[in-house]
Amino acid sequence: MPAATLLPFTAAPSRKSAGPTSSFRLTERFILLLVFSAFITLCFGAIFFLPDSSKLLSGVFFHSSAVETNTRTGTVSGSGSANDEKILAKIRKDHEDALTEAKDTLQKRPEEIKQEILKEKEKVLRDSLGPDGGDVDRLPPVEYQRPPGATGQEPPDPRTRERRAKVKEMMQHSWGGYKRYAWGANELRPISKQGHSSNLFGGLKGANIVDALDTLYIMEMYEDFDEATAWVEKNLDFSLNTEVSVFEVNIRFVGGLLSAYYLSGKDVFRRKAVELGERLLPAFKTSTGIPWALLNLKSGIGRNWPWASGGSSILAEYGTLHLEFMHLSKLSGNPEFAQKVMNIRKVLERLDKPHGLYPNYLNPNSGQWGQHHVSVGGLGDSFYEYLLKAWIMSDKTDEEAKKMYYDALQAIETNLIRKSSGGLTYIAEWKGGLLEHKMGHLTCFAGGMIALGADGAPGDQTGHQMELAAEIARTCHESYARTTLKLGPEAFRFDGGVEAIATRQNEKYFILRPEVIETFMYMWRFTHDPKYRDWGWEAVQALEQHCRVEAGYSGIRDVYATSPNHDDVQQSFYQAETLKYLYLLFSEDDHLPSDHWVFNTEAHPIYSLLREEHLTHTV
């Protein structure tokens, strides 16, 4: 029998049989098809559309494990209608729950639904990583060895000992005020005695605590350190829908946590640092990999400061991630952190630099410079610092960083460094080829930086660079000495007949910044010239006289006024940097020695030797 007669509905009609007979067959086939489809529909209807039928069917036709389990445990007694009733009631309840859930979901805003889906996804990811939780809980174990010099000896000289003790008392006073009036807030308002926060941290909390951890440790305030550690363990939360400054969060939070880890060995700091680092990674999602300035920690959406030239990222911000991110890779075993910051270098290397200088603005999408403004102070400063420290931190193996640093310093010297008619060396700012003869308080860190790098300077430049560092230290000291309150202004000028003096009202404030004292500390360590300790002591006295208030220390609005007008903010860098550098200025050189420790730009000491043999993963 030909196959076609056996398969009437599927076989293609032969061309030869086309005609009236075949048309009758077609109708017949159509009717049969209809009957067959009606039958199929009926069967499916029975399964899917009859109320609550599926579960009943599963009990009848399939071996139901639920029923079996219940029977085994004796929870279903008897059989027949009582059992069916129970199952039907359960099915009805499931339906009602599903309906209520669907109704609730429909009432939610799309944004809320999106957040819930994200949460659910995170949970699934965490569950898939096992009972320990997320990635950070699964960090490779690291063999921790306390690096040398984490703690220091009392100085033998009584006067220095006394000065050092005084600085510790200042820290106790400052910390005490924060603890009492602003615990958990980002900063303290020491006059109004309440918490304070700037928009740099969005909804993040506890900047002061994280920024001060290492200072507490270094000054041996161990009880306070433990309290701060407990706060970090319980309350430091990064899973926030909030926008933060990538730079500030990196230098203060990541840097503070890394430092606390290297000093104390407590693994909570390593885990928190890596967790925060992971949250910062989406900032690098730009065409060039140059990160955004601002980032929402939850959504990972980044953007730049609206005031920055043509949507640019800022040199001092994207250029001040290197130290921390290299350590994050080391401590997490995840190479991504290091790759991100090494890429920043690559982008910069490919660009043409006007006169060898690095403009402060760079568009992260076009990869082009914005305005040609160059500064060793605000917007540029710590980029240069991190080139030098990247080289030192690599145990002096990172030749690329070394070259970039010394080349940049050469260009700065040629184009920006000038001497006033009164003999003060200063670092001016460069705007499209024109010099603005102004030096910021921020720029004063450069004395310390140049001193730190002098030793490795190419050719026979070491002596020259030490002299340059000393001259900058002197100029910055003059900027303090020439004020009424003996504290330095935010910026000082060398034009219009003045030298090292602020001439604009909006440049006369002092906000407890550390840079001048930072330079004194380095200069003391490299020269042991007692004038640096004396200059530091002058600053201590001025701080005590004009900034100390009942609940802590406050910035001042005008350092040329006869009495201080307080701004009511105790910046977190006061404890992180100013007091720490003062304490180290009056400490022995083997406390955090520079051959083992590198200070990040927020003065957080990080173990300097990143090479394999100094820090090993145990797996």
Contacts with ligand DMJ by CB under 6 A lie at: 382, 442, 513-514, 573, 577, 601-602
Q: What gap in Å lies between CA 14 and CA 2, rounded to an integer?
A: 12
Q: Which is nearer to ligand DMJ, 304 or 382 (CB)?
A: 382
User: Can you tell me the distance from the alpha carbon of 61 to that of 84, in angstroms, rounded to the nearest whole number?
Assistant: 15
Catalytic residue among 490, 499, 577, 602: 490
Residue with tokens 């050469």: 410
Q: Are 201 and 245 in contact (CB under 8 A)?
A: yes
Q: Is 381 a catalytic residue?
A: yes
Of the pair 324, 577, the CB lying nearest ligand DMJ is at 577
271/580 with CB nearer ligand DMJ: 580
Please identify which of the residues 214, 248, 278, 499 carries the catalytic annotation.
Answer: 248
The yes-or-no answer on residue 169 being catalytic is no
CB 582 within 8 A of CB 603: no
One DSSP character per residue, 151-218 reads S-PPPSSHHHHHHHHHHHHHHHHHHHHHHHHHTTSSEEETTTTEEE--GGGTT---HHHHHHHHHHHH
* Least distance in angstroms from the C-beta of 545 to ligand DMJ: 21
Q: By the 8 A CB rule, do 451 and 522 touch?
A: yes
- With tokens 């009848």, the residue in question is 60
Smallest distance, ligand DMJ to C-beta of residue 434, A: 25
Cα–Cα dist 232/257, whole Å: 9
Looking at the Cβ atoms of 134 and 378, the one nearer to ligand DMJ is 378
Q: In the numeric block, which tokens belong to residue 374?
A: 């160059």
CA atoms within 13 A on the CB side of 310: 14
Catalytic residue among 187, 515, 558, 567: 515
Q: How far apart are CB 299 and ligand DMJ at their closest, in Å?
A: 26
- Cα–Cα distance between 128 and 138 in angstroms, integer? 12
Q: Tell me the C-alpha distance between 116 and 22, whole Å.
A: 61
- Of residues 561, 590, 550, 431, the one with CA closest to residue 188: 550
What b/e string do you get for 212-240 counting C-beta neighbours within 10 Å, with b at 16 or more? Answer: bbbbbbbbebeebbebbbebbeeebebee
- Min dist CB 442 to ligand DMJ, Å, is 6
Residue (383 or 535) nearer to ligand DMJ, CB: 383
B/e letters for 493-519, b = 16+ CB within 10 Å, e = fewer, are bbeeeebbbbeeeebbbbbbbbbbbbb
Q: How many CA atoms are closer than 13 Å to the CA of 276, on its beta-carbon side? A: 32
CB of residue 119 vs ligand DMJ: minimum separation in angstroms? 34
Going through 464-617 in order, the beta strands assigned E by DSSP cover 491-493, 548-549, 552-553, 597-599, 605-607, 616-617
User: Of the two residues 296 and 601, which places its CB atom closer to ligand DMJ in the complex?
Assistant: 601
CA dihedral sign of residues 80, 82, 83, 86: positive
616 annotated binding-site participant: no
Q: How far apart are CA 143 and CA 60, in angstroms?
A: 61
Helix boundaries (H) for 249-362 = 255-264, 267-280, 315-318, 322-332, 336-350
* Least distance to ligand DMJ, CB of residue 448, Å: 11
Catalytic member of 187, 224, 381, 567: 381
Question: What minimum distance in Å lies between the beta carbon of 383 and ligand DMJ?
Answer: 10
Q: Is 248 a catalytic residue?
A: yes
- Please state the closest distance from residue 576 (CB atom) to ligand DMJ, in A: 8
Task: Decide whether 376 or 409 has the Cβ nearer to ligand DMJ.
Answer: 376
Closest residue to ligand DMJ, based on beta-carbon distance:
601
- Give 208 or 334: the residue with its C-beta nearer to ligand DMJ: 208
Write out the H or E segment, with its range, that includes residue 120.
helix 110-128
**Catalytic machinery residues:** 248, 381, 490, 515
Question: Residues at the annotated binding site?
Answer: 601
Question: Residues at the annotated binding site for Ca(2+)?
Answer: 601
